Amino acid sequence: MNGIWHNIQKNLDEQMAFYDQLKREIFQMIGKLYDLYPKDDSFYYGSIDHLSFDEKASLFSHEFLETFVHIQKYSKKNDVFTKKLYSRLISTSHLLEDFLDLHGAKSNKDWYYYRELTATVRHLSLAGCSQRHIANRLDQYLIEKPPAFAEEGEKTHKFITQTLIKLADIILEEATRLELKVPENIRWEFFPRLTAKDELPFDIDEDFEGIHKEELRKNYLKISNDYLNIVKDFENHAFHAAYSIEKLKQLVPGTINEVEIRRYEMVVHNLQSYFDSYVVYGGTINDLKLKKLRAAFSIPLHLLKMMGRLLHFYERHIIDAGNKDTFKKVKTKLGDLVDSNQLLDRTINYGLFYVCNFLIIGKKWANEILNENINQSSVIVPVPHPKGFHMRPSLLVAKIVDHYGGRVQLVLGNKQFDAGSVLELQWAGGKIHQDQIKEVVFEGDVRALKDIERLAKLNFCEDTFGSELQFPPELEYLT
């Protein structure tokens, strides 16, 4: 037994010696790569955690600065801003910003400007990456696109990239002032475009066998219903002509701000996540209506991501820089580097404008999918007494129909009236009054019909004198 234990111990010692040597060689390699040997001392594997702030600042700045050397060298003749370049800028700026914040750069006169430049790069790069994502997939979005959308997107791309190019010289100058080691440039081929010259063949047939049709129908209902509710929220923000700079500054951050846009982003993200998990089932979509509906919220999702980053930068680093003299000076410098008027224009007159535009375009597909999958039925209800379908009962019925989103019609003989339209219900009300009709038929979405029936049993929440009555809990959404 002792002999066996001795052999085990010997093998463990040999393995530990091997790993110890391997660790030492790795850290020696890192030291050579970043030129971080402590002065007059040989670099050993444990020393990397005992570097000074200045030495570690060089280490964490290396890839960040290397990327800006690349931008500085190649961007004059080429559009170097691929998704891979953006990914590198995002990851390196995020890590560097965390390092600087951990060591108090936000409260240090010497390092505060470098820290703010790093944060500026991160938010502009995140915005630029979202815009690049839209541009890369524009042809794959099988939905009607407004004529100027691609052109406005390119204008936004140029604003972001030209700002980052302008930042390159400043960042490298600031790094030199701080005595950080500025590395050599990366080869051009290191940041290729995302697209290849060919695509993989489509050889997985989407097969819904094994998936219960009733389950699919419920999923279609949920995504179309959720989509239409999102559109309702955004219709308040829709506009038809570009806002002036003065109007933009009134809107931001009072009405439109980072918190509001991030909230919308999360809601749309949840919709897309549910769609991809329970409608696509990991594959592609064969149904053209579903493809168009997905495009109608996928484009807005990436626009909202872009808007959120630009608004964060504007609110945090431009208009809310604090009262201290150092903060004010840095704010002024950033304002000279990033055109805040153009930033607001791209955020609202491009971002918000097309978010609303695409969501409204998608209503057609959401309504069609909804009405193809809802359970249909009909109910007979009494006419409101004593005034019939005047303004208030008509408005309540239309609100119910709007709440569920499905199609409902009021039927009088061979004529049908859209129950989602107050005007059409009042037209029907005129005929009902003229012909002294006491009961009417509603046909359509069974969910809406149940609530219309509830409302009718309460005489449409009016007493016999036409005064308003309180809504039951099930109909409180009508208040």
The rounded distance, in Å, linking the Cα atoms of 461 and 399 is 14
CATH 1.10.510.10 fits 375-478, yes or no: no
Q: What is the pTM of this model?
A: 0.82
Q: Are 419 and 408 in contact (CB under 8 A)?
A: yes
**The tokens 């829709």 sit on which residue?**
238
Per-residue pLDDT of the chain (479 residues; tens, 9 = 90+): 556 555 555 566 666 665 566 555 555 555 555 555 444 444 445 567 778 999 999 999 999 999 999 999 988 888 899 999 999 999 999 999 999 999 999 999 999 999 999 999 999 999 999 999 999 999 889 898 998 999 999 999 999 999 999 999 999 999 999 999 988 767 766 777 777 778 787 666 655 555 677 888 889 999 999 999 999 888 889 999 999 999 999 999 999 999 999 999 999 999 999 999 988 764 456 688 999 999 999 999 999 999 999 999 999 999 865 567 888 899 999 999 999 999 999 999 999 999 999 999 999 999 999 999 999 999 999 999 989 999 999 999 999 999 898 999 999 999 999 999 999 999 999 999 999 999 999 999 999 999 999 999 999 999 877 678 889 999 999 98
Locate the domains of the chain by residue range. Answer: 52-177, 212-370, 375-478
Res 399: pLDDT: 96
Displacement of CA 124 from its chain's centroid (Å): 15
